[in-house]
Amino acid sequence: MLNLSVILDSNVKRYPNRTAFVFGDTDFSFAQINAAACQVANGLKNLGIEKGDKVALSCFNLPYFPMIYFGILKVGATVVPLSVLLKKDEITYHLDDSDAKAYFCFAGTEELPIGQMGKAGFDEAPNCENFILIMPKAEMASPIADAKTFAEFAAGQSPKFETAPTSAEDTAVIIYTSGTTGKPKGAELTHSNLLQNAILCADFMELTKTDTLLIVLPLFHIFAMTVLMNAGVYRTAKSVLLPKFEAESVFGLMQKHKVSVFAGVPTMYWGLNSYFDPKFDYDSIAEHLRLCVSGGASLPLQVLQEFEARFNVPILEGYGMSEGSPVVTFNQDKANRKAGSVGTTVWGVEVKLVDENGDEVPVGEKGELIYRGHNIMKGYYKKPEATAETLKNGWLHSGDIAVKDEDGFYFIVDRTKDLIIRGGFNVYPREVEELIIKHEAVSLVAVIGVPCNQMGEEIKACVVLKDEITITENELIAWTKERIAAYKYPRIVEFLDALPMSATGKILKKELRKQ
């Protein structure tokens, strides 16, 4: 038997009163988080949820997230974390594709009405039977007709629960990741995948119970979930939750809570470098900050050097994928690291760089990064063909191009050909293209990434309009924004008379990138 919730269960017995999470002015002990998770498990059991069932969760970085996450695991079910930025049709797709039987959804805000969007998506997913609305405060009534609140769901449930026996290879979490073609795919990660990755992260970050982590990376993303939340719970560290990145808020919490570990994507470090307000004691912040971690995209060397010089703290870069639970390589030794590198392989993971024939390339030459080990997913949920394309003879083919130096450090030199990484989020052009082509004015469209100092890459749509139908760039951007997650819509639109094509009719995106 192995259930990922053991990292919470074991620490409740040893350190029940130690602070696990902090949100606002409230501390939540391991005992409180566990009691709430047990209430969730009991509530789900009463709904008929059992081992192997799928339960979806859309939630900001709030204490509700770990409470519900571990509650789902305790009952033996599979957690399906969803981005809070998804729109109605996207939510319906994820609920249907994952076979979710229940859906916990945070109410959101006026600017981001997650609850209304979630309920609308839920209503179109006939096989998802239970919708639970998470309100900002327990005493608040549901603003959505026939939507039960989390407080109503948990009321009267016992704060004790005997964790369901699951095996190491049972699916604990399904993380959705877009592919270069088609709809998003759900990577099945096992209890073993996630536990071992959390342990090795805790090891190379040298986490201890005296550490205070700041979690502003979204918990629905595998980076924050494993590297911060699960690793922190495993080592009984304190985690401060922040739902939205703003440099002022980050520095405020760093100063208030004497944060020792921070993890972010490159755009966050860019934002912190660009911010200064004399009301903060940056010397004090630097004194307590012992380690920073970066992932999601390559961190520009200038950004890294400016941040490290300002705070006298190392930023350790790494490489990972949702399919890898996520960590594959990392700069694991503060004294022996290479700026611009994603480090060396982590414990228990093998990496090779291969050519198009699958043969390993020499040191210093480019090759596709493939890996195997305890971290690779079981496969894509209900997608055997996509799984077979990615997992070959036990090796996971990343589609990313890298170089290895003579010391065993890896450098990512190119991403999957069409992948756009905007602010740490993966955006695959085809999904955006398939939406834009539905507009009555659009004849043809190609979506590419263009360099952007702030976001790393920005999304650009190259559009050929139909004859006699006109639309402005801003109108098309606004139309797209209403129908797709906020990080996916193009900020730049260029109208062209034609798109460059090969002899076989394939759009030559490399030519568009040159323009």
Residues 409 and 425 occupy one common structural domain: no
* Half-sphere CA count of 512, side-chain side, radius 13 A: 27
Whether the predicted pLDDT of 481 surpasses 90: yes
pLDDT at position 506:
57
Q: What six digits make up the tokens of 259?
A: 């944060």
Residues 366 and 430 occupy one common structural domain: no
Whether the predicted pLDDT of 80 surpasses 90: yes
Q: Are strands 395-404 and 391-392 parallel, antiparallel or unpaired?
A: antiparallel
Residue 400 to residue 411: CA distance in whole angstroms = 10
pLDDT level of residue 421 (50, 70, 90 thresholds): confident
Domain count for the chain: 3
Residues 437 and 404 occupy one common structural domain: no
Residues 105 and 14 occupy one common structural domain: yes
Least confident of 51-60, 354-363, 462-471: 462-471
Q: Which range among 98-107, 292-301, 392-401, 444-453 has the greatest average pLDDT?
A: 98-107
Average pLDDT of the residues in 413-423: 76
Least confident of 88-97, 120-129, 174-183, 216-225: 174-183
pLDDT level of residue 417 (50, 70, 90 thresholds): low
pLDDT at position 415:
60
Whether the predicted pLDDT of 503 surpasses 70: no
Alpha carbon distances (Å) from 243 to 109, 188, 305: 12, 26, 27
pLDDT at position 499:
86
Which of 386, 414, 442 lies at the terminal end of a domain, its last residue?
A: 414
Least confident of 151-155, 240-244, 266-270, 366-370: 266-270
Residue 21 to residue 215: CA distance in whole angstroms = 10
Q: Is residue 172 part of a domain?
A: no
Reduce the DSSP state of residue 450 to 3 states and report it.
strand
Whether the predicted pLDDT of 177 surpasses 90: no
Residues 12 and 93 occupy one common structural domain: yes
Q: Is residue 446 part of a domain?
A: yes
Q: What six digits make up the tokens of 362?
A: 């020499």
pLDDT at position 295:
87
Higher pLDDT, 306 or 48: 48
> Domain range spanning residue 155?
6-166
Residues 219 and 108 occupy one common structural domain: no
pLDDT tens per residue across span 242-254:
999 999 999 999 9
* Half-sphere CA count of 283, side-chain side, radius 13 A: 1
Residues 16 and 105 occupy one common structural domain: yes
**Helix pair angle (6-14, 30-46), 10° resolution:** 130
Q: Is residue 388 part of a domain?
A: no
Residues 205 and 313 occupy one common structural domain: yes
CATH of the domain at 101: 3.40.50.980
Residue with structure tokens 């100092």? 453
Q: What is the mean pLDDT of the chain?
A: 93
Residues 452 and 309 occupy one common structural domain: no
Contacts for 297-305: CB closer than 8 Å, 24+ residues apart: 297/265, 297/266, 297/421, 297/424, 297/456, 297/457, 298/266, 298/340, 298/412, 298/456, 299/266, 299/269, 299/340, 300/266, 300/270, 301/339, 301/340, 303/266, 303/269, 303/270, 303/273, 304/269, 304/339, 305/339
pLDDT at position 416:
60
Q: Is residue 180 part of a domain?
A: no
Whether the predicted pLDDT of 183 surpasses 50: yes
Least confident of 30-44, 68-82, 384-398, 459-473: 459-473
Least confident of 40-44, 262-266, 295-299: 295-299
Residue with structure tokens 């609308």? 120
Average pLDDT of the residues in 112-117: 95
Q: CB of 1 within 8 A of CB of 167?
A: yes
pLDDT at position 414:
62
Whether the predicted pLDDT of 37 surpasses 50: yes
Residues 18 and 54 occupy one common structural domain: yes
Whether the predicted pLDDT of 505 surpasses 50: no
Residues 197 and 151 occupy one common structural domain: no
pLDDT tens per residue across span 268-279:
888 898 899 999
pLDDT at position 178:
65
Residues 87 and 161 occupy one common structural domain: yes
Q: What is the pTM of this model?
A: 0.86
Which of 132, 166, 200 lies at the terminal end of a domain, its last residue?
A: 166
Q: Within its chain, how far is the Cα of 168 from the centroid? A: 23
Q: Is residue 174 part of a domain?
A: no
pLDDT at position 25:
97
Whether the predicted pLDDT of 502 surpasses 70: no
The rounded percent of the chain whose pLDDT value lies above 70 is 97
